[in-house]
C-alpha cells in the first residue's frame, strides 16, 4: 500500500484495514455462567430480552424517565444476567449520567454475552462505547483483564475491542503491547516514508514524482533518503526535523492468507491518494 500526501508536520494520518468477508465459524453452544467477578461466558444462542427489559427501554427512550428505566432494567438483569436489553439500558443510562464505571461494566457485560451476536446493534454500540471510553483511568484499567480474557477466548477477531486496549496502551496503561494491539486492530504501524518532493504541495500533488508501482525500495529519491518509521499507535505523524512543504510518499505492507473484501480507512486532515498494488483506490 502506498500513500501520497502534501507535507504538514501538524497533520496526522491513521491507516486502518478491516476485513469485510470473514469465513463463517460454527461456534459450540456454551452455557452462560456467572464467574467470581460477575462475568458471563459467551453464548451462541440469540441474545435474550424480556417484557421487563423492553419496558425499561420504553421508559428510557420513549418516555425519557431515566429513574424508572434503571429500576426496570436492574430488576430484569437480576432475573436474567443474559438480558441484553436490560444491559443496554443500563449502559446508555450510565453514559447519560456520566457514570463511567457503570457504563464500562455494562458495555463489557454486553460484549461478553454477545460474542456470537456481534452484528446485534446493542453489541456493536457496546464495543464502540468501550473504544470511546478507553484511557489510562481507574475505571477502564479495571476492565482490561476482562477485555483481554474476552479477546483470548474469542474464536474471531474483534478489532473494536483491540482498538480499545490500544487506546488505553497509548494513554499509558501498563502491561499492554501497543504494536501487537495495533496489528490486531487492523492498524498499519510500519511505514517507509520519503519526502518532501516538489515545492508546491497543491500544484505538484497531481504530478507524482514516484511511480505508484514503486514500493520505495530505493535508498533515496530526488536526493531525499527513504526512512523507516514505526508508529505504535498507528498514527503517522511526521517528525519535526522534516520540511513542511512538498509531497510525502509512504509505503506499508499487509498480507492476507484468505481471499476476501477489505476496507481501507484513513483519517487525515490533508489531501491523500491511496494506491494498492500500484492501483489508485482512493483520493481525498
Flag whether 91 is in a domain: yes
Residue 267: name the closest of 281, 284, 251 by CA: 284
Check whether residue 57 and residue 95 sit in a common domain. yes
User: Domain check: are 151 and 190 in the same one?
Assistant: no
> What's phi and psi for 94, nearest 5 deg?
-65, -35
Q: How confident is the model at residue 4 (pLDDT cuts 50, 70, 90)?
A: low
Within this chain, do residues 145 and 191 fall inside the same structural domain, yes or no?
A: no
Same domain, 151 and 63: yes
Same domain, 16 and 75: no
Residue 27 domain-assigned?
A: no
What are the backbone angles phi and psi of residue 108, rounded to the nearest 5°?
-70, -40
CATH number of the domain bearing residue 128:
1.25.40
Q: Report the distance separating Cα 95 and Cα 83, nearest Å.
A: 19
209 shares a domain with 276: yes
Does some domain include residue 84?
Answer: yes
Selection from 273, 271, 248, 270 nearest residue 197 by Cα:
248
Q: Are residues 151 and 86 in the same domain?
A: yes
Confidence (pTM) = 0.70
124 within a domain of the structure (yes/no):
yes
pLDDT at 279: 84
Mean pLDDT across the chain: 80
- Band (pLDDT 50/70/90 cuts) for residue 12 is low
Percentage of residues in the chain having pLDDT higher than 70:
76
| 235 and 152 in a common domain | no
Same domain, yes or no: 137 and 200: no
Q: Are residues 72 and 128 in the same domain?
A: yes
Which stretches of 134-254 are DSSP H helices?
138-152, 159-170, 178-184, 201-204
The answer to whether residue 255 sits within a structural domain is yes
- Total domains in the chain come to 2
Residues 48-76 pLDDT 10s? 899 999 999 999 999 999 999 999 999 99
Q: Give 26's contacts (C-beta < 8 A, 6+ positions apart).
A: none
Residue 19, strand partner residues: 262
| 109 part of a folded domain | yes
**Segments forming the whole domain that contains residue 127:** 51-156
168 within a domain of the structure (yes/no): no
Q: Is 199 helix (H, G, I), strand (E, B) or coil?
A: coil
179 within a domain of the structure (yes/no):
no
Amino acid at each position: 500500500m502506498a500513500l501520497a500526501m502534501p507535507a504538514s508536520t501538524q497533520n496526522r494520518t491513521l491507516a486502518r484495514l478491516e476485513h469485510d468477508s470473514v469465513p463463517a465459524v460454527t461456534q459450540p453452544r456454551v452455557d452462560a455462567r456467572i464467574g467470581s467477578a460477575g462475568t458471563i461466558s459467551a453464548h451462541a444462542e440469540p441474545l435474550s430480552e424480556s417484557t421487563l427489559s423492553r419496558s425499561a427501554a420504553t421508559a428510557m427512550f420513549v418516555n425519557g424517565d431515566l429513574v424508572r428505566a434503571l429500576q426496570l432494567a436492574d430488576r430484569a438483569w437480576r432475573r436474567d444476567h443474559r438480558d441484553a436489553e436490560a444491559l443496554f439500558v443500563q449502559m446508555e443510562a450510565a453514559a447519560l449520567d456520566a457514570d463511567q464505571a457503570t457504563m464500562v461494566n455494562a458495555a463489557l457485560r454486553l460484549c461478553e454475552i454477545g460474542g456470537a451476536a456481534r452484528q446485534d446493534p446493542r453489541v456493536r454500540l457496546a464495543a464502540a462505547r468501550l473504544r470511546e471510553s478507553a484511557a489510562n483511568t481507574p475505571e477502564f484499567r479495571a476492565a482490561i483483564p476482562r477485555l483481554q480474557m474476552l479477546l483470548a477466548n474469542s474464536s474471531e477477531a474483534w478489532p473494536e475491542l483491540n482498538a480499545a486496549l490500544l487506546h488505553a496502551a497509548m494513554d499509558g496503561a501498563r502491561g499492554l503491547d501497543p504494536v501487537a494491539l495495533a496489528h490486531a486492530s487492523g492498524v498499519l504501524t510500519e511505514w517507509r516514508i520519503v519526502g518532501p518532493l516538489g515545492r508546491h504541495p497543491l500544484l505538484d500533488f497531481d504530478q507524482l514524482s514516484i511511480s505508484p508501482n514503486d514500493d520505495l525500495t530505493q535508498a533515496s529519491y530526488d536526493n531525499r533518503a527513504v526512512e523507516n518509521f514505526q508508529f505504535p499507535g498507528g498514527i503517522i505523524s511526521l517528525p519535526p526535523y522534516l520540511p513542511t512543504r512538498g509531497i510525502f510518499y509512504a509505503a506499508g505492507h499487509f498480507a492476507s492468507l484468505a481471499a476476501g473484501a477489505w476496507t481501507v480507512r484513513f483519517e487525515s486532515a490533508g489531501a491523500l491518494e491511496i494506491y494498492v498494488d500500484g492501483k489508485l483506490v482512493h483520493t481525498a
